[in-house]
Structure 1
Amino acid sequence: MPKLSEYELERQANIAKNRALLEELDLTGVAAKLGLPSGSSKNTAKEKSKAKPVQPAKKVKRERDEVVAPRRQSSRLKREVVDPDESPSKRRKREEEAKAQRQKEEEARLEAEERAREARRPRHYDLDLQTLGDEMSTEEMSGLKDCFDLLAANPNARRVGKLSDFVFDDDKREKAEVTQLRESFSKLKVVSRAKVTQDRIYSAAYHPEKTKDLIFFGDKHGQLGIWDARAPQDDVEDEDGQLVSPDEREGGKYWRLQPHWPATSKSSVSTVKFDPIDAHSVFTSAYDCTIRCLSLTSGISREIYATDDILISSLDLPPTGQEMWVSDADGGLTHLDLREGKSRTRRWELSQQKIGCVSINPTFPTTLLTASNDRTLKVWDARKLQEMPLTELAPGSTTPSPSARRVGSDKPLTSDMPILSDFGAVEEFKSSKKGSGTLRCQYPHDKSVSSAYWDPRGRNIVSTSYDDNLRIWDIGAKLTSTLSGPFKPFARMHHNCQTGKWLTILKAQWSPNSDVFPHFTIGNMNHSLDIITCNGEHVGRLSDRERITAVQAVTCSHPGVVQRVASGNASGRCVLWAPEC
């Protein structure tokens, strides 16, 4: 055994002294006397956290081809050993062959780099289910197709409410409706949890099919998660090979599709909407500057609208389902007729800052609601907007010619460019006699308006703002006349909306169920959901401190079943709230 140095002997002596000191202090005994939990800090942290994360089932991914660009190699390492006795003719032949080989390798490298660049660009072509779910196994793909076939067999048209719905002559009937809602929501519990998407939930929509709890979630990286929350659970084993209990495993089944590309934060899904006619089509808008429509009958996702570099923030459809209004980050509002081509679109710049939300009044579809970063909520008359002068038209044509110019702009139109009315042209038209009434009313907030939506009757408005207030308006009686006088909310409630950088912006979402007293849900920074009626009464707070430990920022409700609410958080985990079976 080699002789130890003086340094090593001193080091070992210090170790022995420290060990003896720790034994004399008897830290474990002291902790027990004080009533503190023993063990490492890691074990203590586990004991403090009562909520157990759901355990995902092990899924076998289908193999897919990845584009890999060839790497550059050193010319010095590839250099051949030259024969000194080589003849000039052989040398010329060898150099020509080497040159041809280098040229061939360079062409292959450039082609592979172009394929890699193309794979990172937005996809503007039609996508089938195999492409959308290229990471799903054959068994998962078969299950998704069966689910789509069931939905396509049942039409689910959205019933449109009336302005007079739930408007009572006495307070007793209204109080009875509110009491009934409060009792219904008091029975809701967490009945299913799952990590439906890989990244932060940005948007959600509840499918109207009543035989299933099917929720569509859009995430930060362009993924569309489809969750059948009550489907039979798969068995899951832990690291020791033991079956995980049903309370700790994922609930239901889910499928992940990738309609928007590339799979980065540049493709965040800002809105998910169902076709109001039959719910057989799913419309999604994303930050990749595209709007796509996924058909549940054919399984094909097609692009219906795209911009060059303008982020699309939201979309909405009227009850007829034949039109679409789109808001964007440049303060624009675009009208699409889904029966016509992309070149027939018209865009108005209504604000000099981002319009984060657009909502169509279901009873009066020509009345639009916008929420903007300019701190205002505005109600617009779509008929007046469409009366704004178009560009010069060719004789006998209903569309602008390519040589025409955009309203308020010096840039010429192209065949696929929407007609643009810039902010100056809109302001000029509003102040003219013909444009009087284009902006029906507006209300300034203290800070940016995150969202504003009409209720299913088209009577009430709820807005969310960074000034930490929820506001509710009742303007149903004024919709058929001129909105004159002060436009003030009748209810204003404090609500913490400071989500910061890592959480999705909180937005109050009306329940689309027009058969019950109007109410909306909104996430709470205290890891719960608040449920509030159209008259400002708080009728429920959904929470579960043992199972929910994150902010449920995104919410949605079933269009036909009142006791169904779904929510999602920043990690892609989603929750279904319903009565316990």
Structure 2
Amino acid sequence: MSNLSQYEIEREANIARNRLLLEQLELKQAVEGIAPPKPKAGAAKPIQPAKREKRKRELEEVQPRRSSARLRKSVVDPNETPAKRRKREKEEEEQRLREEQEKLEREEAARQAQRPRHNKLDLISLVEHGPEEIASLSKSMEAIPKESTQRIGDFDDFAFEDSKEDERALADLKERMGKLVVYARAKVTKSRVYCAAYHPEVTKDLIFFGDKEGAIGIWDARAPPDENEDDDGEVANEDREGGKYWRIQLHWPANAKSSVSSIKIDPIDSHNIYTTSYDTTVRSLSFTTGESREIYSSDNLVCCLDVSPSGNDIWLSDSLGWATHLDPRESKSKARSYGLSDNKIGTISINPTRPNFICTASNSRFVKVWDVRKLGKIVAELGDDSSATTIDFHAETLNEYMESKKGRESMRGEYQHNKSATAAFWDPRGRQILSTSYDDRLRLWNLDAVSLESGDPFKSFQPFSQVRHNCQTGKWVTLLKAQWSRNPDVYPHFTIGNMNHSLDIYTCKGDLVAHLADSRRYGILAF
């Protein structure tokens, strides 16, 4: 006879009915039927980051726990004399003042930690894993000659009179593109990449990346990886990170307020790079001295930087439409700023063969070409006070100067896009300009020597080619900016990212040459 209660009997019956129902529905086979399919042969896994030893940090000094002033009060002696009472109250007041002072010091230290750094910085303190990685980074940089190998194109290169010569050069470019393969992949920075620069040294594939949180990623894509970087035998070799990379927290604080907006390799010193950041600073990082120093600071977000082939002229653009000229050999107080636009100037580019010309692209929809020799005459017109700080020429002053006979030639040409012009760059020959715009068009200009050498504004400044391209990156994707290839030995071409996780390569005439894509959409790819 069963001793189960009525409730327990009904419970056992329900369990039995449910078990029978599951067997009838063949739930096990149904689950197996909807299981995810096995990966196809050849399909790549997401990139597997290399295992890195965490940097050993010294334990912070434990701060004494704070307690309530009410609880800290000692029991008052009812027989306390007036003299003892005054002494006790004085000690309590001194303790309160010390605590308030410590609180203010902690708050000030926290504020200082969130401000940009303007002092010189030691490379050892900036590298992610400190001294542990400085040795390998120094070894990689020592393999590069200090004297720059970067070459400038000739204005008349690839300007063929015979169409057959042009076809042969184009065929050679297509053949080169057809041989490209993915050589290495790696997650070089922790945050979204905002800018990149390819080192001109031909014996290495050395690329610099600037990310959203003020860090610089340096990737030696062809370097053999360390044997102890990844000991996971289950991960296929082709899915591991390739090459070696280092991360440097160059700008501070490490958040979106310090996004690295541009990187440039010094054209006369291969061991030096320039960076601009939304922390309003411009820094020079030397791998020879192991120091990073500030060469300029602004009141606005610095958007772009370009360096002349001589290395003696640097032009910056910022979020309020200012363009600033620096000479790195002089003090930052010698800088000259010009209000060239009413809106943000996203890019500024120096003509490599005629450095007296710069072009700007701004949110005012305009791409403009300026002759900086004429802009420099404003100083002579208004007088140069060498003892003053940075001289700012506001838009009103500039417009007044441009209405004069001497200033009319300062702006040589302008073109208005249908929407914001996000980028405009000179090609390596200094004869073409390429622009990117939010109106989903890539535009190409071709300028002849006569127009550039003349002192008059261009008779016509209209693009000869327009290419449709989706540039609607939105808020969460870095702006697409078409970039020229800096190699002067190949047929002129440019590259731009595609919203379909690929790269489009076009000729200097606007014809599509190659569409580079890889199914493994994680990390940075090297071809």
* 1:374-419 deviation per Cα after TM superposition (whole angstroms, max 9, x unaligned): 11111111111111256865xxxx5255xxxxxxxxxxxxx43x21
Q: State the AA in 1 paired with 2:220.
A: D
Counterpart of 1:287?
Answer: 278
Say if 1:264 and 1:65 are closer, same or farther in 2 by CA, change over 3 A: farther
SS at match of 2:197: strand
In the TM superposition, residue 228 of structure 1 has moved relative to its aligned partner by: 1.2
SS at match of 1:388: helix
In the TM superposition, residue 105 of structure 1 has moved relative to its aligned partner by: 2.6
Counterpart of 1:148?
Answer: 141
In the TM superposition, residue 181 of structure 1 has moved relative to its aligned partner by: 0.9
Counterpart of 2:419?
Answer: 447
Q: State the AA in 2 paired with 1:361.
A: N
- Whether 1:459 and 2:431 are equivalent positions in the alignment is yes
Counterpart of 1:114?
Answer: 108
Counterpart of 2:89?
Answer: 95
What pairs up with 1:1-400 in 2 under 5 angstroms? 20-30=20-30, 38-39=34-35, 50-63=44-57, 73-133=67-127, 135-151=128-144, 153-234=145-226, 235-237=228-230, 242=233, 244-308=235-299, 310-389=300-379, 393=383, 398-399=384-385
Q: Are the counterparts in 2 of residues 447 and 467 from structure 1 also a CA contact under 8 Å?
A: yes
Q: State the AA in 1 paired with 2:214.
A: G
Q: Are the counterparts in 2 of residues 270 and 312 from structure 1 also a CA contact under 8 Å?
A: yes
Q: State the AA in 1 paired with 2:109.
A: R
Say if 1:207 and 1:81 are closer, same or farther in 2 by CA, change over 3 A: same
In the TM superposition, residue 226 of structure 1 has moved relative to its aligned partner by: 0.8
Q: State the AA in 2 paired with 1:275.
A: D
Q: Are the counterparts in 1 of residues 146 and 270 from structure 2 also a CA contact under 8 Å?
A: no
Supply the RMSD in Å over aligned alpha carbons: 2.8
Say if 1:92 and 1:362 are closer, same or farther in 2 by CA, change over 3 A: same
Q: Are the counterparts in 2 of residues 352 and 374 from structure 1 also a CA contact under 8 Å?
A: yes
In the TM superposition, residue 548 of structure 1 has moved relative to its aligned partner by: 2.1
* 1:115-154 deviation per Cα after TM superposition (whole angstroms, max 9, x unaligned): 2211111000000112212x41432122122223333x44
Q: State the AA in 2 paired with 1:212.
A: K
TM-score by length of 2: 0.91
Say if 1:107 and 1:247 are closer, same or farther in 2 by CA, change over 3 A: same
Say if 1:306 and 1:89 are closer, same or farther in 2 by CA, change over 3 A: same
* 1:332-383 deviation per Cα after TM superposition (whole angstroms, max 9, x unaligned): 1111122211111111111111110000001111111000101111111111
- Whether 1:535 and 2:509 are equivalent positions in the alignment is yes
Q: State the AA in 2 paired with 1:220.
A: K
Counterpart of 1:511?
Answer: 485
Say if 1:3 and 1:70 are closer, same or farther in 2 by CA, change over 3 A: farther
Q: State the AA in 2 paired with 1:295.
A: S
Q: Are the counterparts in 1 of residues 186 and 524 from structure 2 also a CA contact under 8 Å?
A: yes
Counterpart of 1:488?
Answer: 462
Q: Which moved more, 1:137-146 or 1:208-217?
A: 137-146
Q: Which moved more, 1:377-386 or 1:9-18?
A: 9-18
Unpaired segments ≥5 residues, structure 2: none
In the TM superposition, residue 20 of structure 1 has moved relative to its aligned partner by: 4.6
Say if 1:104 and 1:38 are closer, same or farther in 2 by CA, change over 3 A: same
Counterparts of 1:52 and 1:167 in 2: how far apart (Å)?
Answer: 44
SS at match of 2:112: helix
Counterparts of 2:507 and 2:442 in 1: how far apart (Å)?
Answer: 12
* 1:518-544 deviation per Cα after TM superposition (whole angstroms, max 9, x unaligned): 111111111111111112222212111
Q: State the AA in 2 paired with 1:99.
A: E
Counterparts of 1:251 and 1:213 in 2: how far apart (Å)?
Answer: 12
What is the identity percentage for the equivalent residue pairs of Structure 1 and Structure 2? 50
Q: State the AA in 1 paired with 2:526.
A: L
TM-score by length of 1: 0.83
Q: State the AA in 2 paired with 1:493.
A: V
Q: State the AA in 2 paired with 1:480.
A: E
Counterpart of 1:479?
Answer: 452
Q: Taking CA–CA contacts closer than 8 Å with sequence separation of 6 or more, which of the two structures ends up with the larger relative contact order?
A: 1
SS at match of 2:168: helix
